[in-house]
Structure formats: C-alpha cells, structure tokens
Structure 1
Amino acid sequence: MLMISPDALLRLRSETRAPVTLALIRPAPVKKLPRHRREAIVDALAAMMREAELTPFAIEGPGRAAIRARLCMFGWRWGQADAAADEAVQAALARVGAKRPDWKQGQPEWTQDGVTPQTRERCARCAKPLPIDDDAHWRKFCGPVCAQAAKVDRNRRRDKDERYAKEKIYRLAWAEKQQPRACKLCGTIFKPKRNNDYYCSRDCGDQSRVKAFSASRRSRGREMQMVCEAVRTE
C-alpha cells in the first residue's frame, strides 16, 4: 500500500489549493453638508462659542454630538455624520479664533513660563483663611465642602452650555427642514424657527397681539354696555 508522508501531503495540499482573493474594502463616500446649511450651522456654533462662559472649547463636544445625532436621524451614516459635524465645529473654532492650549497650559498649577505658582491664603469659594500646613500653596479650598460645591457649580455651568448648544443646534436643524410660510400680519414669506411661529418678526407679533388685545377690550366693553342696558330696563 502506498503511503504518503506528512510533508508530502502538506505539499500536495498547498499545490492543489485555489488561491484566496480577499474582497477590496472600499471607503465610504464622503458626504458634505450643503453650503447654505453648513454656513448656518457654523454661524450658530460661532455665536454660541463667543457666549460660552468658560471657553469656546466647551461647545466643541456637545455641538459635534448634536450635529451628528441630527444627521443620523436624517439618514446619514455615523461616520459620514461625524466627519461633517467635526468639520463644521472646527470651522466655527477657526472663525472665533480659538487656540487650543498645550498640555502644560492645561495643568491647574500653570500660570506662565518662569513664574512660580500662586500662593493662596484664602479659600477660592468662601474666602476664609486656608489652614497653614505644608500643602498650603497647592490648596485651593478650605475643605471638602467648598471643593465639592465648587465642582457642582462648575459642572452646572458646563451642563448649561451643553444644553444650550444642543437645543440651538436641534432648533436650527429643524428649521432647515421646514417649508416657508406666510406671515399672518404682513404676508412676508419666512422660515419658521419654531412650530408656533406665525409672524416673520417680533414687530409683527407685537402688532398682532396689540390688535387682539384691543379687539378683546372692545368686545368686553360691548358686553358690559349690554349688561348695563339690561339692568336699566329692569
């Protein structure tokens, strides 16, 4: 009986095996926002970054997440939506002139090159004298209560900026999808920013409210006059 050695068997298998061709992985096509829509988003982001309490970079994360979420809801792929959102956020940062600090500048003890750290004598929150010990020049708060309260305040300001950024971006994305409508007072065609926007400007809204108030006063006056006449006849 003919016997085949293991080495010969492996050689035969390698010679008879068909070569395997891997499928080419094609990158997803780049998808960009329309020019007018991108400019509107960048303008809104830049305005929010200028009004941010701490730093313009506080709007970077929530703004990118909000834009990406809205684009995904409109049918974009996650990668395409994230790339478009990042491009819009970076354009807004460049427009406001934001400069990202390096690692050393981001440290809490950094002031500037060649300057010793600031020595604190009072608590940064309650202004009480700091206890005298070896770590006094590094200490910022008098105790854990003030430290925790300052952390809560800082998180509250950060959350406020994030909520404001997300709400404004959501509203802007919603407005871009709405059909123009006519103002109920002057007939001007405009794009609503909210579902209950029926007037093209604040002036038209104020005039409409004044007219409605005057009409209601006249109506109440007529009703009171009818009541008075009814009382007189009795």
Structure 2
Amino acid sequence: MLQITPQLRKSIRISKALDVYRTRQHKADNEKSRTAKLRKLSDRRFSELVDDVARIMKQGDTTPFSFEGACRHGVRSSLCLDGWPWLDADICAAEVIAAALNKIGAMRPTWWQGQPEYADTDTSRGFCAHRRCGRPIPTDRGIRNGKPVKYCCDECGSTAAEEMRRREGRRVSMAEWLALCAARSSEKERQRSRNCDQCGEFMLTRDPKDRYCSRGCFHIAQRKYEQRTCENAACGMMFTPKNSGRGKVTRYCSKACAAACRIQARPALSCLTCGTIFYPDFPSDKRRYCSPAHNPYASKAARAATFVDAPPLAPTEIEPIVSPFRCDKA
C-alpha cells in the first residue's frame, strides 16, 4: 500500500502549482496580442468604479480580498450587459479590482505565503515543516509563545527561516525590514517637503525640482516687471506693466488714461493761413496748417475733401473793375 508522506504531498502540491502557473502564463501570452484591440473605459467612469469597489472591499472582515470575486463578477456582468465582449469585460474588471486594491493599500500574498509551511499553525501532523527534513517532531519540543513548534530542532528552524528570507528577497528579519521601509518613507517625505518660492506655503512635491505650489504662483514668479502706479495724475491706479515693443514698458493702466494724457500734452498751434488756434492729434505733430484746405501745398483731392468744412480763403464778393475803354464804341 502506498503511503502518502508530507514530502509527497508537498511535491504534488508544487507540481500542480507549476502546471497552473504555466497555463496562466500561456493564456497571458495569447491575450497580450489582443490588448491593443480591447475596449477601454473612460477615465471618469474608471475612477468612479475604482472608488465604489474600494469602498466595498474595505468592509472585508478578515482580509480585503474577501469580496474580490464578487466585485469582479459584478463589474464584468455590468459591462457585458452594456454590450461588451466577455474577454474585454473580464480584463477591464481585473484592472478595476487591481486599482482598487492598490488604492486601499492591500498587498496580495505570494504563493509561498499561502502554503502550510509558511503559516504559524502546525499543519504538518507531527512532522518537521522543513522541506528537506520531514522527521517526526519530538514530544519534548512542546509549545513556544503559545504556538506549537513546526520544526524538529532549532537548526531546521533557522535554515527554513534563512531560505524563506532568501526566497522573498529579504536579508533581514521582518521587524528590521519594516523599520527600513519606515525610514525610507520618512526620507522620501523629507525630500518632497519644501516651501513655495513665491508664497512660502508648505507643500509636498511629486518632483524634487518643483518650486511652486500652484500655477498661480508660477505665473506670478515669471513676471518680469513689478507693479507700478499709472502716470495719469487723475487715475493713480496700481497695475502690472507689459512690454509694449522695442524694449519699452507701458506707463498707463489703460488706453483711456493714455489718451487723456496724450490730449493734455498736445501743444497749441496757430494756422499760418487763417490764424486759428488748433491742437494736433499727437504731441509730436508739428503741423503749420489747421486743415488740408488751408495748406497751399496740399493736393487738390485733399483740399476738395475738406473744402466744404474749411473757412473760405477769399472774400465772397468781388468788386468790379472800372475801365476807361468801352467795347460798345466803334
């Protein structure tokens, strides 16, 4: 009669796990080629589903993975009812579940952590839990820290612990590893924390090169000119000047103030033709005539265009000229 020992059970379990792993890997390779053609959720709906699933999975009593299957089934079925193909809905549901678990900070255990040898309870039925030993545990080993021992001697226990650390990539104990993680997190937070260069408010940056807490502070810091007072004496408002071209900076807060100051700065000129006092459009204008109609050097078209509104250049009535010669005499 064939006797099933703990070593044989362990070998069978490992071989089955390897077969399942190869099958899943083969399916993943086949589905990877179809990833580009799969349907995707919009960012808004994806975030809403992640929030709802995370809220449900937080209510798990023993572990956050308690409602994983029900949540995945619910998301997949709702997408299928919306007309999605089953494969696209299943992959999208898996992405939603993974994002929700990541949001609540749940860490999925490895395959080795799910084996009886990793558990704290004695499931080897009186045999040593070390995979290369398997001898019966002596009765004098008793119980340590309220838990039954899993190894026949201290050497098997230390060897199994070293193999476990090597398999999981840990070179220290769990307490030391958690202390290192906490120190690493505090150091990252210290590197990310700084004060805004513009307003001085405390902030946590994603990139150590960030210097401002918001876009508003960034735009204020990028200004080249400080605020100044409008040069219009009737205004006096504070404004941020701009570059008006050719290296010059605006002096007035608005076009109305600029026009008012321009009008005040215009000099009074006298027309050389009629003597009328007039003001030019710009202070730099040095005209000598009040209009093109009074300018003898202007073109005929310009004079004709303004002749109606311009004052006359000659008297309205012309006196007759008396001559001693008459044309009616022979």
Radius of gyration: which is bigger? 2
> Greater strand share, 1 or 2?
2
Query: What TM-score does the superposition give when structure 2 sets the normalisation length?
Result: 0.26
Q: Which has the higher contact order (CA 8 A, sep 6+)?
A: 1
> Greater helix share, 1 or 2?
1
